[in-house]
Amino acid sequence: MKKIFCLIAAWNFCTVWGQDSSAITINQPLDSGISSEKVIDTGSAVLSNPGKPEKKRVIIVAAGNAAFFTGSMIALYNTWYSAYPQTNFHFFDDNGEWLQVDKIGHAFTAYSISRVNMETIKWAGLKRKHYIWYGGLSGAAYQTMIETFDGFSSHWGWSWGDFGANIFGSSLLVSQQLIWDEQRITMKFSFHSKDYGTEQLNGRADDIYGNKLLERMLKDYNGQAYWLSGNLKSFFKKSNLPPWLNIAFGYGADDMFGALYNNWTDENGVYIVHDTDRPRYRQFYLAPDIDLTKIKTKSKFLRTTFSLLNSFKFPAPAIEFSQGKIKGHWIYF
């Protein structure tokens, strides 16, 4: 994911924290007979005309986006791509790699960037169609710029699989906002650190995934899981279900020590084969979850914290389906 996850978190914090806590926008379902937006005045400045841009907020959002996109692109190029030779633009088929966990990571990143930008553009007072489309497509646009860098790098290339995943992530957000005017299904991420059991495999993991927690969180596909978390109350409006209760479906994979195969050459030039005794495999999960943004609070700090943490799957019991077996986890990260 090329360290984009940390950038998303930082930008998410800045944009959400920068929003004026005195103006609270509440989404209403389109079929409720109520306007899709209403503003509650909590005693300070509010949008005087919802749907009409407020100049000061527009400037803040535009400047923040420009700084983030430009700065992150420069930083990404200098810290990542400049270390590798550049070539003519070319394509690269990596659709079979990492059991597609990396592709879902692309979708998650595009969805997350789009969600943050949509909310900030909405906060600036733009019309519904504008904040949905401008914000909703920003994640795919940002990821496409990164994919273009890949296209000129000798170590990678333009991947249509990555591009399609980026489009899916942004489309998931846009389609829900157009249909329901809310995000009933949220893409989330979880990670747990792994011990691979042998000195040889742990050494291999250190080589390709790094040996620090943050590196492992970004690179170790064996410890990652991606979730589609659906809010039950949003689908069953008249039920007595708590508004924060979600059900989540997750995907991950394990025992991957290379992009396509578990074969490599060690530092002594010895060719090692691990495909037979430790085959890679897919994992599917079912678990309860919490939508932290549905927890009511007047605290600006807590709203910021909940919005940040809502990109992560809440630790909870889970059922795993993998290798033809069903496995239970008391708590799964």
Please say if the pLDDT value at position 22 is more than 80: no
**Tens digit of each residue's pLDDT (9 = 90 or more) over 178-228:** 999 999 999 999 999 999 988 889 989 999 998 888 889 989 999 999 999
Pairing of strands 224-231, 185-191: antiparallel
Q: With bands split at pLDDT 50, 70 and 90, how would you rate the model's confidence at 32?
A: very low
> Of 52 and 228, which is predicted with more confidence?
228
| pLDDT given at position 215 | 87
Q: What mean pLDDT is predicted for residues 34-43?
A: 38
Q: With bands split at pLDDT 50, 70 and 90, how would you rate the model's confidence at 2?
A: low
CB-CB contact of 315 with 332 (8 Å): yes
Residue 293 neighbours by CB under 8 Å, 6+ apart: 306, 307, 310
Q: What percent of the chain has pLDDT over 90?
A: 54
Q: CA of 61: how far to CAs of 22, 51, 134, 181, 250, in Å?
A: 18, 15, 12, 21, 33
CB-CB contact of 123 with 50 (8 Å): no
Is the alpha carbon torsion for 74, 77, 79, 83 positive or negative? Answer: negative
Q: With bands split at pLDDT 50, 70 and 90, how would you rate the model's confidence at 267?
A: confident
Q: Where are the domains of the chain?
A: 1-181, 184-333
Cα separation, 210 vs 216, whole angstroms:
6
Nearest to 62 by CA among 141, 146, 125, 107: 125
Q: CA of 48: how far to CAs of 25, 45, 175, in Å?
A: 13, 8, 28
> Of 188 and 26, which is predicted with more confidence?
188
**Tens digit of each residue's pLDDT (9 = 90 or more) over 272-318:** 877 777 889 999 999 999 999 999 998 888 988 898 899 999 999 99
Cα separation, 47 vs 56, whole angstroms:
11
Lowest mean pLDDT among 44-48, 199-203, 227-231: 44-48
**Tens digit of each residue's pLDDT (9 = 90 or more) over 133-170:** 999 999 999 999 999 999 999 888 999 999 999 999 99
**Tens digit of each residue's pLDDT (9 = 90 or more) over 56-111:** 888 888 888 888 888 888 888 887 788 788 899 999 999 999 999 999 999 999 99
Cα separation, 150 vs 92, whole angstroms:
9
Q: With bands split at pLDDT 50, 70 and 90, how would you rate the model's confidence at 40?
A: very low
